[in-house]
Amino acid sequence: MKCLYVCLLALLFSSLPGCSTAARRPLPADTFVALPVAANLDRLLKNADRDHDHKITIRDEVKSFEAISEAGGTLLVQGTYGVSVLLQELILAKDRHESSLPFRVALLEENPLARTSRLIEEIYWDDLTRKLDAAGLNRTLPDSKIKTASGLAYLYVPEKDVFGWRYYQNLKRENPAIQFELVRLPRRVSPAFFASLKDRHGLLALKVAKGEGGEPQPVPYVVPGGRFNEMYGWDSYFILRGLLQDGKLNLAEAMVDNQAYQIEHYGKILNANRSYYLSRTQPPFFTSMLRAVYEAKAPSPTRSEWLLKNLALAIREYREVWAARPRLVSKFNLSRYFDEGEGPGPEVEEGAYDAYLSPFAKEKGITPAAYLKLYEAGKIQDPRVRLLFKHDRTVRETGHDTTYRFDLRAADFLTVDLNSLLYKYETDIADLLDSEGAGSMKLNGRNETGAEWRRRAALRKNRMQALLWDEAAGNFYDFDLKNNARSGFDSATALYALWAGVATPDQARRVAARAREALLSKGGLAASSEKSRGPLHAPERPQRQWDYPYGWPPHQILAWEGLARYGMRQEAEDIATAWLLAIGKNARDFNGMVTEKYDVEKASHEAFAEYGNVGSQFSYITKEGFGWTNASIQLGRAFLPAEKLRAVEAETAAIPGK
């Protein structure tokens, strides 16, 4: 029986047989101690939360805390991590309306990274799951990013979704306490209609399925967390991977079904399901999601039917969104990101445009905020600013909002990441056609063949090799349409070419070497190199969140999987190890914190540029983590060999006495 030693905790119970009041003895790990919740919670926060931030972190410099047991004895918990675990467990008990907590002392010895992984599977995914039903609308309708003119929330339902429209009509009638406006979207959302939504943006409906008896059943989905309380485009791929890793196949399938609904009814997979995102998509991962779920499902006629229906929608999205103007640049037959909307994004936080607008505001002798207000009112018209907002909207479609990688000209670049993802679309479609249709089948009224899609992929690969590969630098770079040259900006997105299989073996080795030299830091891969980002100086050139020294979960996952694909397992494991060490140590030292991004130079969660760091603001316990970071933990732990994972856990373990 494993015991916890005095350096971690000790129990002094005069009421227990054989227990001396003069000595503290090792306690078996499987022991449960009954702790009164309210009394201990009140004392813990008063005595241990010294900076009053509703967390127990290393900044509190707490050495120990004596919890009072129901039996009248005390449980001595030592160290920041141990006290933070006790706080979290007391809060969970309080939320369950329990007056007494049967506290399992083994939790104090649980490794911080392992504990985080367990909580992701047991709590975080559930707390991030949403459903547009009567019980869920109060949680999904509010939007912290905008306000409507009327103060009411809006729910928009596509005109073609008759079943969904009837469901929400009935829901609104039967639940008068849920205050919202129900609006039917026109079949085609024209630029004029989109502009008319300015003061009444709202939530966009997702799929309502029919149950076995024909009853409506809104399909669940998982959100990233915090202010991102919607189903996001590319976040959903990484979330889905995490769900599959944790055995949540049905929920992963629901994510695919909701994105398929978006293609069918909104014409594209949206940045997220809010009306202000109707003009914008995000990095395309739908075939990767479709394939991951398909391969996880047991073979059956139902699986085949599900695949073919969604494969047809994937092909439609490919042809109508990515292989068509304005995103297709026909001169090069490669694609770019391009938001079809105009003007500032309604969801963008106040002050976010100040650095961009500062030069134009100075020309008028006013502040950036005043300039923006006049521009939105139509009292200032400047084609330079109009173009700036077009590029700003487009950088948000890239998912990398914001970065100096595009120099305020995001629509001017044929990017490595987008074209790698589209190459993956083409090869995925070919593979799935071969798997289910013997290489050929009729979809969307056309005969689709695996051979044709492989030809498309080969052509894209050749164009990428010619245009995006820099032989001298040994790296893939975005192509700048305005300057007719490769950008030379070192970005983690170069590794997408490995993940998708675009690179040759020699190119893969050179990209890996470049990434190790320019991007790899203490806590993982930075989004860009420090040299490419350039010097910072406020207010004209502030830190951007998708640049050095910040690192993001999608880049880590795609990098380690891409490197492994080309046999560079050691290099891949180095990235996963650095990333998990950073997350584990931050979770240990900061009350279980899991955030959307990290400062990889310092291996710290203190990465607050632009929008703060979602996941860092919570009270007592995080119940969400952050969607794609949760996934990176689960996938990273599964990716590392057992001995390396043990080494990571040893290095992130609680430090006795601290």
Both structure tokens of 37: 């919740």
Establish whether the linkage from the previous residue to 403 is cis, with ω within 30° of 0.
Answer: no
Catalytic residue among 571, 596, 599, 624: 596
Give the closest residue to 227 by CA, choosing from 347, 329, 320: 347
Distance between CA 424 and CA 269 in Å, rounded?
Answer: 17
Backbone φ, ψ for residue 207 (5° rounding):
-70, 135
Q: Which phi-psi region, left, alpha or beta, contains residue 63 (left: φ > 0; alpha: ψ -120 to 50)?
A: alpha
**596 part of the active site:** yes
User: Could you tell me which of 254, 530, 241, 230 has the C-alpha nearest to residue 404?
Assistant: 530
Q: Do you know the residue count of the chain?
A: 658
Contact status, residue 73 vs residue 10, Cβ threshold 8 Å: no
- Residue 135 CA to residue 148 CA, distance in Å, equals 23
CA–CA dist 191, 279 (Å, integer): 9
Catalytic residue among 253, 347, 401, 428: 401
Residue 120 per-residue DSSP state: I
Taking the C-alpha atoms of residue 11 and residue 173, their distance in angstroms, rounded to an integer, is: 58
Distance of alpha carbon 136 from alpha carbon 220, whole angstroms: 10
Amino acid type, 376? E
Phi then psi for residue 195, to 5 deg, are: -65, -30
How many other β-carbons are positioned within 10 Å of the β-carbon of residue 486? 20
Contacts of 424 (CB under 8 A, 6+ apart): 287, 288, 499, 500, 501
Q: What is the rounded distance in angstroms from the CA atom of residue 656 to the CA atom of residue 79? A: 6
CB 587 within 8 A of CB 630: no
Give the largest Cα separation in the chain, rounded. Answer: 85
Tokens found for residue 330: 């026909």
As beta bridge partners, residue 449 has: 440
The span from the CA of 539 to the CA of 516, in Å, is 31
For 378, the 3-state DSSP assignment is coil
500: its two tokens = 């998708």
Rg over alpha carbons for the chain, rounded to the nearest Å, is 26
- Token reading at 278: 């109707």
Q: Give the SS3 label for residue 258.
A: helix
Q: Which of 489, 466, 465, 461 is nearest to 477 (CA)?
A: 489
Distance of CA 498 to CAs 212, 336, 475, 528, 564, Å? 44, 19, 11, 17, 9
401 carries an active-site annotation: yes
C-alpha distances (whole Å) from 92 to each of 119, 224, 529, 619 are 12, 21, 41, 12
Look at residues 444, 535, 540, 528 and name the one whose alpha carbon lies nearest to residue 487.
528
Cβ contact 384:360 at 8 Å: yes
287 neighbors 428 (Cβ within 8 angstroms): yes
Q: Are 277 and 399 in contact (CB under 8 A)?
A: no
The residue type of 382 is D
Residues belonging to the active site: 401, 596
